[in-house]
Amino acid sequence: MQTGKRWFRLIVCTMLAAAYSRAGNPENTGPADLMKKRLESLEQQVAGAERFAKEAGDDAGITAALQKRDTAIQAMKAHLEKMIAAQAGGDEETFKTLREQDPVLGRDLERANRSIEFARRAAKQRRELDEIKRRKAEHPDTDTGDTEAVLSELAALYDGIAANPPEGGKGLDDATAIKIAALESKREHVYANAEFQAMKAKIQRQVEETGGNEAVKIAGDKLLDVLARTRDARTAISEARAREQALQQERMNLEMAFREASVQARKEAHEAAKQAKEQPKDKPAEKPAQ
């Protein structure tokens, strides 16, 4: 469930980033009031950063991502203010030049927004890792299996993506998406099995405390059977979720490729029609003299 929520947040974050960075589409650049609305949306992002800053605490990854986004926001704000001034002053040449820079700044802002989401995911792995280490310090006999290694690898992977997130609506590359899905699934396996083993030990202790009472033993065996099936169902769900996430990433990449191919095809058709229209028509043949 937690993995699904994180995936949903990532999609929402990507959609919000696209909405906030509409500066990336020159067609959306128009009247001064529209550019002012874009400035307002940037101010909303600045205000929303306080929540992330609280969450970050002393986490260097989120702090770096927030700084990156703040730089992108300030650059976009300065850019929009210049565009508004150029339009108000009737400086069409400057406005045109600034408008051509719009997509680059828009992409920078969108990527900065995506960096924050991946940095938050990395920070979550570190918090879980710290909690496990704390429990182990209090209870040295605690068996955490591969949990620490999995969490460390996930944190490093998310940190790497946060430092260089994919552009636009693109998903992660297939290899990275598959690796993340496998690690998330493995982590769920480890957690599910650890919970089962803890419950099993507790039941066995209670059976022993009753002197091996047959009724208690039978009830305990039935409970263990249900717990084992619950563990297996939980791990099966995590595996299915991992496959779904990998397919979602592949879908995002294919949709992007499809859109790019469609845009290119329309562009080529438009150019061909334009050239055909501009091409001089053949002069009609002159009538022979009578």
- The three-state (H, E, C) secondary structure of 21-67, written as one string: CHHHCHHHCCCHHHHHHHHHHHHHHHHHHHHHHHHHCCCHHHHHHHH
Q: How far from chain centre, in Å, is Cα 268? A: 33
Q: Hey, where are the domains in the chain?
A: 170-271
110 touches 167 (CB < 8 A): yes
Under the phi-then-psi rule, with left for phi > 0, alpha for psi from -120 to 50, and beta for the rest, what region is 10? Answer: alpha
Per-residue pLDDT tens digits for 129-174: 888 888 888 877 766 767 888 899 999 999 999 988 887 656 677 7
Phi, psi of 29, deg, nearest 5:
-85, 120
14 touches 114 (CB < 8 A): yes
110 touches 17 (CB < 8 A): yes
- Distance, in Å, from the CA atom of 185 to the CA atom of 203, rounded to the nearest integer, reads 27
Closest among 242, 235, 115, 241 to 178, alpha carbons compared: 242
Per-residue pLDDT tens digits for 57-74: 778 888 888 888 888 888
Q: Which two tokens stand for residue 123?
A: 């920070």
- Distance, in Å, from the CA atom of 36 to the CA atom of 237, rounded to the nearest integer, reads 47
Per-residue pLDDT tens digits for 86-132: 888 888 888 888 888 888 888 888 888 888 889 988 998 998 888 88
Which pLDDT score is estimated for 86?
87
Place of tokens 């946060």: 162
- Entry pTM: 0.63
Element (H, E) at 95: helix 92-138
Confidence of residue 281 (pLDDT cuts 50, 70, 90): low
Which pLDDT score is estimated for 26?
42
Per-residue pLDDT tens digits for 8-64: 455 445 544 444 444 444 444 456 778 888 888 887 777 776 776 776 677 888 888
265 touches 271 (CB < 8 A): no
Place of tokens 């300065």: 78
Tell me the residue ranges of DSSP E strands in the chain.
Answer: none
- Distance, in Å, from the CA atom of 129 to the CA atom of 187, rounded to the nearest integer, reads 12
- Distance, in Å, from the CA atom of 107 to the CA atom of 54, rounded to the nearest integer, reads 26
Place of tokens 């990336």: 24
